[in-house]
């Protein structure tokens, strides 16, 4: 943990040197321990300048998804206390499900790579190393399960706002769980609930978020190259994954408080980003049948109001249908 704390201290004074003595006093460790931790940081890829009688200065660092890269950007300490980071994992959702009984509410898990990433309806989600952010958060709201069905929509708003805070870009939402930039999918959200069999009580909710951050177009398989994208492709430059992950966690923390207290204006914020409304779509029913329709509004419960060719209107939920766009972006 010393190296993460030292990295945080050096980030607080990026233009100035911080003496080894000041670091040792602040952390309550020896000067030798400070020197050892600095050497470990250098082995991790950080460029740290050291000058006798002046101290240490951080020059540059690698794009890592570690606590040392994420925590300095977090605005609330309770997130940092429950943050777990992995270099590689099968699935952040699966990890939290396996450990749900002993996992505190609000725990966030972030991985540099997933070997078994999943999307909705059992689809695989590509999770290559060193380019994306793969995170899951477990919460235990004291609510009936039916009242928790709109959480994915709230998460979608929070993810968009976190991306905007970190990059200045304004993502949009394809109803109900895909995040889009420049008509390309950059993020998918998967929410899973655990309900007690006898009482029907909600035990916990795990929300998984997979984000394409620094991929290039050629990093995607040819069959999805025209529809998949990354934040870096939209920004035209590499993105710091540590800061981005932190800003999303900050936004999720604000969102969760609002969600528990009635939702504030998140419905209107969702509507303002929903690119599906006003578009021709194809409804894909659970039995595989498809129907053309026009998406005309997002309902108050976050359902999608569609108009069929015969003029009949219907409000559908994500549990009933999937929506595929006919305007260029598809899922």
For 54-88, the pLDDT digits (tens) are 999 999 889 999 998 999 899 998 999 999 999 99
User: Percentage of residues in the chain with pLDDT exceeding 70?
Assistant: 96
What does the pLDDT average to over 293-308? 96
Predicted pLDDT of residue 128: 85
pLDDT of residue 101: 94
Q: What value does the mean pLDDT take over residues 258-268? A: 95
The closest alpha carbon to 65, from 211, 169, 221, 216, belongs to 211
Confidence check: pLDDT of 319 > 80: no
CB neighbour burial string for 44-83, b if at least 16 within 10 angstroms, e if fewer: eebebeeeeeebbbbeebebbbbbbbbbbbbeeeebbebb
- Read off the pTM: 0.88
Per residue in 279-299, pLDDT (tens digit) is 999 998 888 889 999 999 999
Q: Residues 153, 146: contact at Cβ < 8 Å? A: no
**CB-based burial of residue 157 (10 Å sphere; 0-12 exposed, 13-18 middle, 19+ buried)?**
buried
pLDDT of 271 > 90? The answer is yes
At 328 the pLDDT is: 47
pLDDT at 126: 75
Of the candidates 221, 215, 182, 216, the one whose C-alpha atom is nearest the C-alpha of residue 329 is 182
- Tens digit of pLDDT for each residue in 139-161? 999 999 999 999 999 999 999 99
For 33-50, what is each residue's pLDDT tens digit?
999 999 999 998 999 999
Asked whether 127 and 113 are in contact (CB, 8 A), the reply is yes
**Phi-psi map region of 130: left, alpha, beta (phi>0 left; psi -120 to 50 alpha):** left
Please tell me the predicted confidence (pLDDT) of residue 330. 42
Q: Which of 15-19, 163-167, 234-238 has the lowest mean pLDDT?
A: 15-19
């Amino acid at each position: 943990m010393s190296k993460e704390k030292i990295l945080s201290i050096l980030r607080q004074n990026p233009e100035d040197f911080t003496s080894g003595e000041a670091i040792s006093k602040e952390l309550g460790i020896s000067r030798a321990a400070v020197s050892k931790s600095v050497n470990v940081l250098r082995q991790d890829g950080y460029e740290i300048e050291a000058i006798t009688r002046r101290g240490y200065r951080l020059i540059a660092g690698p794009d890592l998804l570690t606590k040392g890269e994420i925590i300095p950007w977090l605005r609330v300490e309770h997130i940092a206390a429950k943050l777990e980071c992995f270099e590689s994992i099968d699935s952040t959702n699966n990890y939290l499900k396996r450990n749900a009984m002993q996992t505190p509410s609000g725990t966030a898990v972030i991985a540099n790579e997933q070997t078994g990433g999943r999307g909705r309806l059992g689809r695989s989600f590509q999770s290559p190393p060193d380019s994306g952010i793969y995170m899951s958060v477990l919460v235990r709201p004291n609510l009936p399960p039916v009242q928790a069905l709109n959480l994915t929509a709230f998460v979608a708003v929070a993810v968009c706002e976190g991306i905007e805070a970190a990059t200045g870009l304004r993502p949009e939402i394809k109803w109900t769980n895909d995040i889009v930039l420049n008509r390309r999918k950059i993020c998918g959200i998967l929410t899973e609930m655990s309900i007690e069999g006898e009482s029907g009580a909600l035990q916990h909710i795990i929300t998984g978020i997979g984000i394409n951050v620094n991929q290039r177009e050629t990093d995607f398989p040819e069959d999805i190259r025209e529809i998949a994208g990354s934040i870096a492709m939209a920004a035209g430059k590499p993105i710091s994954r540590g800061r981005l992950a932190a800003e999303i966690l900050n936004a999720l923390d604000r969102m969760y408080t609002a969600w528990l207290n009635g939702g504030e204006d998140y419905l209107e914020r969702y509507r303002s980003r929903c690119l599906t409304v006003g578009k021709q779509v194809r409804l894909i029913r659970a039995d595989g049948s498809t129907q053309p329709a026009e998406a005309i509004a997002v309902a108050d419960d976050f359902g999608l109001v569609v108009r069929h060719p015969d003029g009949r209107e219907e409000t559908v939920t994500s549990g009933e249908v999937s929506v595929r766009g006919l305007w260029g972006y598809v899922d």
